[in-house]
Amino acid sequence: MNIDPTKLKDWEIAELSEQNMKTVKELSVQLGLDEMEVLPYGHYLAKLDYRTILDRLKNKPDGKYIEVTAITPTPLGEGKTTTTMGLVQGLGKIGKSVTGAIRQPSGGPTFNIKGSAAGGGLAQCIPLTDFSLGLTGDIDAITNAHNLAMVALTSRLQHEFNYGDATLEKKNLKRLDIDPRNPAIGWSIDFSAQALREIMIGIGGKMDGFIMKSGFQITVYSEIMAILAVARDLKDMRERISKMIVAYDKKGNPVTTADLEVDGAMTAIMAKAINPNLMQTIEGQPVLVHAGPFANIAIGQSSIIADRLGLKLADYHVTESGFGADIGFEKFWNLKCRFSGLTPNCSVIVCTVRALKMHGGGPRVAPGKPLDKAYIDENTELVEKGMENLMAHIETVKKSGVPAVVCINHFYTDTDNEIQVIKDACVKAGARVAVSKHWEKGGEGAVELAEAVVSACEEKPDFKFLYSDDTPLEKRIELIAKEVYGAAGVSYTADARKKLENIQADKNLSSLGTCMVKTHLSLSHDPTLKGRPTGWILPISDVLIYQGAGFIVPVAGGIKLMPGTASDPAFRRIDVDVETGRVKGLF
């Protein structure tokens, strides 16, 4: 099918491409799967029985492991998922057996400004509507499991307040003495709902709950999403969910889901979600979709289970990390790979001329507003000035010992002179570089990138973590701040300092991984600082404990864990053709 992406919207391209989709049965034959290993959700979607597949293929060598990250993006994004899909298609075009793994989009950005995360142009994951609007229900399961923990907490608070110890004992309940002023989590919803950030609950009479301050976070920030990303199997997920801290008692001791006796029910809700979802690129390569986005406020990785499956099912497996290498790759490197035991063969760093111009001092880029002419007309000076940001990300990847491949995600407004500036700087920095026109030409346009990745995978990576397991938490934070972000140092609020010291004094907590929360719009904590800022201090405002997921979460700056909906959200343009039932307007 001949499709011109310059004349059609992404959802229109997806709709046309879906006319030639492979069925689940065709994809499963392509992957060499047994019929009972595939759990169909209609004709074109399925979940894969990870346990059966991994057991059957346990002696098969893993394929090459490729991670996709990016430079610090503009607020519009730089096409990381588009590049991931393009690379999968490009590897398929040169005859390689390949799978991809990407994250399921959140309803927050889908119905807000950013839109879905299926890729774009001729490099997309389809079917788009299913991908964007709930897929097989994983995010709904996370929302329900998370909120069930809150139901258990608030119910126990109410009953402990209303009943004496004798009545509690009759009901086979132990008094947990929960401190309503010190909850560890709030409620969860998968929309950008700023009005729910802070709420009061339990307003009413004695039977209407316990009056307390609470709030909502977006579902993809839930610790259960992080657990889905890092769990190795259902048993591991069950153990991690049981360790989740929901609140603290009046002596400051943690109250877990196991204490509330809700961990088993939460795992039951999540039992189907642990199986990765099977989709495809518009050129018919298999794509595993599992776990969620937001590496700025969460781990932001496709799941370990999806990667383990992809590495057994193909010779090349491409997985995506969230945002820039300072956030997504750093968490892939020091958290995901540590938990999985897998070693990547190369990392692809996506950059665009547009983003480099912004980092070079170009005019402000804002979602929903036309780009300034500076981003369309040739300006090699801005590109050259913005190269400092790309160099920082190349250096981060090289510190891991993994070969770096810079992908110039080509826009049709880019000029040869601008592209040459990037190529020259990358070669000088010791990184492979390839121009990819996957948005415009699909797999054919990504052949140069695919060949560069194959070449990089022939090298033997000298993989090493940024810090060892026994590195103190404060030192880890300092290493990430200085070695990855480029900070001059780290500061703490009094509350964050106290929490840090308490964690470091607890052997069970001090050994957990470190998952930073920081803006994705700058190497620093300040989204207005572009390029490669120097001489700044990283301010840690809070330190959270994700005991179930297995990491401590230092929060830098005043970042919100519940995004807000803008004045011109995407939901205004999404509708259904009532004659055919086809959804239109997704992007």
Question: Which tokens sit at 111?
Answer: 């119905």
Paired residues of 347 in beta bridges: 67, 404
Among residues 187, 191, 210, 439, the one annotated as catalytic is 439
Among residues 11, 14, 64, 80, the one annotated as catalytic is 80
Task: Give the chain's domains with CATH numbers.
Answer: 23-137+273-457 (3.40.50.300), 138-260 (3.30.1510.10), 473-556 (3.10.410.10)
Say if residues 322 and 42 touch (Cβ distance below 8 Å): no
pLDDT in the model for residue 525 = 95
- Residues 197-223 have a mean pLDDT of 92
| Band of residue 536 on the pLDDT scale cut at 50, 70, 90 | very high
Among residues 191, 210, 323, 332, the one annotated as catalytic is 323
Give the model confidence (pLDDT) of 559-578 as tens digits. Answer: 788 889 988 888 999 999 89
**Is 439 a known active-site residue?**
yes
- Residues 363-372 have a mean pLDDT of 85
DSSP 137: S
| Look-up of token digits 């897929």 | 135
Among residues 69, 72, 74, 82, the one annotated as catalytic is 82
Residues 6+ apart with CB under 8 A from 346: 64, 66, 67, 402, 403, 404, 405, 453, 456, 457, 459, 461
pLDDT in the model for residue 116 = 78
- Residues 267-282 have a mean pLDDT of 98
Answer whether residue 1 shows pLDDT above 70. no
Among residues 47, 93, 103, 331, the one annotated as catalytic is 103
Where is 228: in which H helix or E strand? Answer: helix 223-230
| Look-up of token digits 């510190």 | 399
Say if residues 317 and 309 touch (Cβ distance below 8 Å): no
Say if residues 402 and 461 touch (Cβ distance below 8 Å): yes
| Band of residue 526 on the pLDDT scale cut at 50, 70, 90 | very high
* Closest of 356, 345, 338 to residue 459, by C-alpha: 345
| Band of residue 316 on the pLDDT scale cut at 50, 70, 90 | very high
pLDDT in the model for residue 390 = 98
pLDDT in the model for residue 546 = 94
Query: Residue 587 CB: number of other CB atoms within 10 A?
Result: 18
Averaged confidence pLDDT in the chain = 94
Among residues 114, 240, 243, 499, the one annotated as catalytic is 114
Question: Which tokens sit at 537?
Answer: 């201090």
Question: Which tokens sit at 155?
Answer: 């119910």
**Is 114 a known active-site residue?**
yes
**Is 11 a known active-site residue?**
no
Q: How far apart (Å, rounded) are the C-alpha atoms in residues 352 and 376?
A: 12
pLDDT in the model for residue 136 = 97
- Residues 311-325 have a mean pLDDT of 95
Q: How far apart (Å, rounded) are the C-alpha atoms in residues 553 and 549?
A: 10
Give the model confidence (pLDDT) of 406-418 as tens digits. Answer: 999 999 899 999 9
521 by DSSP, 3-state: which? coil
Among residues 295, 314, 392, 425, the one annotated as catalytic is 295
Q: How far apart (Å, rounded) are the C-alpha atoms in residues 202 and 126?
A: 43
Give the model confidence (pLDDT) of 351-365 as tens digits. Answer: 999 999 999 999 998
DSSP 375: G
Start-to-end CA distance of the chain, whole Å, equals 21
| CA 278 to mean position of chain CA atoms | 18
Instruction: Decide the pairing of beta strands 583-584 and 575-576.
Output: antiparallel
**Is 536 a known active-site residue?**
no
- Residues 546-568 have a mean pLDDT of 89
pLDDT in the model for residue 319 = 98
- Residues 97-101 have a mean pLDDT of 98
Instruction: Decide the pairing of beta strands 513-514 and 551-556.
Output: parallel
Answer whether residue 282 shows pLDDT above 70. yes
Across the chain, which distance is largest between two alpha carbons, in Å?
Answer: 80
Give the model confidence (pLDDT) of 8-48 as tens digits. Answer: 988 899 999 999 999 999 999 999 999 999 999 999 999 99
Among residues 161, 411, 463, 465, the one annotated as catalytic is 411
H helical segments located in 294-409: 304-313, 330-331, 337-340, 353-359, 380-399
Q: How far apart (Å, rounded) are the C-alpha atoms in residues 127 and 281?
A: 9
| CA 400 to mean position of chain CA atoms | 20
Higher-confidence residue of 252 and 294: namely 252
Planar angle of CA 68, 409, 93, nearest 5 degrees: 75
**Is 80 a known active-site residue?**
yes
To the nearest 10°, the Cα dihedral for 434, 437, 438, 443?
-80
**Is 423 a known active-site residue?**
no
pLDDT in the model for residue 71 = 97
pLDDT in the model for residue 109 = 85
Give the model confidence (pLDDT) of 473-523 as tens digits. Answer: 999 999 999 999 999 999 999 999 999 999 999 988 988 999 999 999 999
Q: How far apart (Å, rounded) are the C-alpha atoms in residues 467 and 462?
A: 15
pLDDT in the model for residue 93 = 98
Phi, psi at residue 428, to the nearest 5°? -65, -30
